Every structure is written in C-alpha cells, then in structure tokens.
Amino acid sequence: MATPCEVLLELDDAGEARAVAESVARSAWRVEDRFSRYRTDNIVQAINTSAGKPVIVDDETANLLDFAATLHELSGGLFDITSGVLRRAWVFDGHARLPARDDIEALLPLVGWHKVSWRRPVLTLLPDMQLDFGGIGKEYAVDQAIAAVRRDFPVSCLINFGGDLAISHPRQQGLAWRVGVESATGPTSSAAAMIDLYRGALATSGDTHRFILSDGRRYTHILDPRTGWPVEHAPRSVTVCAATCTDAGMLTTMALLHGSRAAEFLESAGVRHWIQH
C-alpha cells in the first residue's frame, strides 16, 4: 500500500488478535499483488502491456472497471483511471521541479476513458495507454480486509491503511473509535479534527505528503485529466465519512477534482465531511 497500515482491536486475547492481524495482512497483500501498477506479474501489467490487443479480465477486475466507468460518468470525466500515465512526467515528492509542458502534451493523447473499449469481460486500450487503480485501490483494500474480519471474527476492529479506514463491528458498550484527522497546515503530528466513529468508514485525500512546491506555489498530486496539470484551487485536505471506505475515498477524490467547488460538491452529496484550506 506504500503507506503505514495498522489494525486496532477491542480484544484482550493475544492469539485471536494475532489471527485478526494476519487475516488483514493476507487480504492487503492479495489486493496489492493483484492490482498494483508496480508489479510485473498481475492483471494490471497484462493490461498496460497489451499494446492495443484485447484482454479478458476476471470478475473482480471487471467489477473495479465497472466502478471506475461509473465514477468517470458521475464526475463528468474528471475521475479517470487512464490518467495514471501522467506520472511519467509528474513526481510528487515535495521537490521544486515541474515537468516540461511538452512532456505533458505528449502524454495527453494517452489519457481518456472514452478512448477505452470496455465490453465486460473484454478490455481494449489504445497502444501505450495504461490503467491505474491507485485512485480507488487502497480504499478497496480496506473494504476487502474489513469483509474478511466480519466473516471470520466477531470483534470490533478498526483497519487503517494510511488514513483510509473502516470499522468491522460496533464497539462494546456503545463506545466510539476516536479518529484524528491529520493537520494539513500545522505539524503532521497534530490533529485538525477529532471524530467519533461508531460505524462505517472514513477517507482523507490531499497534498500533505504528495506535492510539488515551485516558486512559492504548492501543486497538489490530484491531476486534471483534461489538462494533465494539478487541479487548481483545490483544498489542502478533504475528509469524508461514508458507509464504505471505497465510497469515502471516491468522494474525497472527486471533491478535490472539483477544485474551489469541493465544498459545494460535498454539500450536494449530503455526507459528513471536513475540509482544510
């Protein structure tokens, strides 16, 4: 997941706690192995090296593709899993180097879900196009791990993959899991908000850790697939509560893609949210 992952348990049996943690780890590694774009032996690699040839995908991959297609439609094209190819030009590690405009322009013809042929279970990309499930992958991994815990362990568990988290069962005696939202403007060890979470999930997205700072201007890692450049006037951080981590993560990303209209988008969605500017 390229991020710290943790499992919090309301449990005093060390053996059962270890079993829960191992179940979560197995689930996380399974999703990582299947859908990471950095592996050379999975379905994403097969798709991204297909050179314009059709690829038949399995049901799980097909479900993710259907979900991505729905998000693309709902966002008016702003959420686009083909935009990962822009990472060839962009590196968001806090440095001050911007890519050349010519490099971005050269990649734009490879961006656009509307250029993809998707007729379940057959997917065809144009040569040199790529897919990247990074926009939904970590949150999907959380939900998969939560499902495994719910299936096998009747305990209250909070699974947190890099700030994207979900709860398996309510805590005893009606207690909440207390979650801190990392400050986007102060010390990273400080909390901008404290949230009592009784059920469901929470996700946060922003530029706290992934950004470029050039000539006094901060560029978010959220890219506009239409221009190839970071979204302008986006909040520093968006946090959303939803029924599932995948839904929460989708809403945070879509809010950031709306730039200065992020709050308006989340208000219209009717979800609990926290925005830091």
Q: Which of 215-219, 234-238, 255-259 is least confident?
A: 215-219
Residue 1 binned pLDDT confidence (cut-offs 50, 70, 90): confident
How far from 162 is each of 7, 37, 56, 70, 158, CA to CA, in Å? Answer: 11, 18, 32, 25, 12
Question: Residue 186's pLDDT is what?
Answer: 80
**Do you know the residue count of the chain?**
277
Residue 188 binned pLDDT confidence (cut-offs 50, 70, 90): low
135-177 tens-digit pLDDT:
999 999 999 999 999 999 999 999 999 999 999 999 999 999 9
Q: 34 pLDDT exceeds 80?
A: yes
Model confidence, pTM: 0.94
Mean pLDDT computed over every residue of the chain: 95
For CA atoms 167, 171, 175, 180, give the dihedral sign. negative
Whether 157 contacts 167, CB under 8 Å: yes
253-275 tens-digit pLDDT:
999 999 999 999 999 999 999 99
Q: Cα separation of 120 and 122, whole Å?
A: 5
Query: Which CATH number is 5-276 given?
Result: 3.10.520.10
Residue 82 binned pLDDT confidence (cut-offs 50, 70, 90): very high
10-26 tens-digit pLDDT:
999 999 999 999 999 99
For residue 145, the tally of other CB atoms under 10 A from its CB is: 27
How far from 187 is each of 15, 181, 268, CA to CA, in Å? Answer: 37, 12, 31
Residue 93 binned pLDDT confidence (cut-offs 50, 70, 90): confident
C-alpha dihedral, 214 to 215 to 217 to 222, nearest 10°? -20
Whether 201 contacts 240, CB under 8 Å: no
Average pLDDT over residues 109-133: 97
Q: Cα separation of 28 and 7, whole Å?
A: 12
